[in-house]
Amino acid sequence: MKIYALIFLPLILLNCKKQPDKIIGTWKMVHAEVLENDSLKIKDLSQTRFIKIINDTHFAFFNQQNNGNEKFYGGGGTYTFDGSNYTETLNFTSVESMKDHEFSFKIHIKEDSLIQTGLEHVKEAGINREITEKYIRIH
């Protein structure tokens, strides 16, 4: 019986750890919706690239036009993830009122796709919107 425990316990522990690791990678946004004040807006991604990078403890995101850099923005910080609940703490941003703010989302990962949904509410920045973002894994 002890031999079975020695064989199967590491396998069970590895499987428990794998779910949160699914989020680690480099993700490209392929669709984004913003619901704000009863208005649904679809983000035009035809002239821009939005990348999110997630490692064991931190995330970063970057948005840049395909031609030029006038509308470049980015940010990053720490996060927690339990397999479906994802919370970002935005530690690095050029928007002071959003610095160190927590954003909570639901994450659904299937194969190489990640869907992130949640409410972004920052009273000091005048932000109160529901977002849905869809990404594909590029690394």
Is the pLDDT reported for residue 16 higher than 50? no
Q: What is the value of pTM for the model shown? A: 0.82
- Could you say which DSSP state residue 123 is in? G
- The pLDDT score that the predictor gives to residue 68 is 84
Is the pLDDT reported for residue 119 higher than 70? yes
Instruction: Give the Cα separation of 86 and 23 in Å (integer).
Output: 10
Q: Give residue 18's pLDDT band: very low, low, confident or very high (50, 70, 90).
A: very low
Q: What is the dihedral of CA 60, 46, 68, 71, to 10 degrees?
A: -50
Is the pLDDT reported for residue 14 higher than 60? no
Instruction: Give the Cα separation of 98 and 121 in Å (integer).
Output: 10
The tokens for 115 are 């869907």
Q: For 47-106, what is each residue's pLDDT tens digit?
A: 999 999 999 999 999 999 999 888 899 999 999 999 999 999 999 999 999 999 999 999
* Span 6-31, average pLDDT: 70
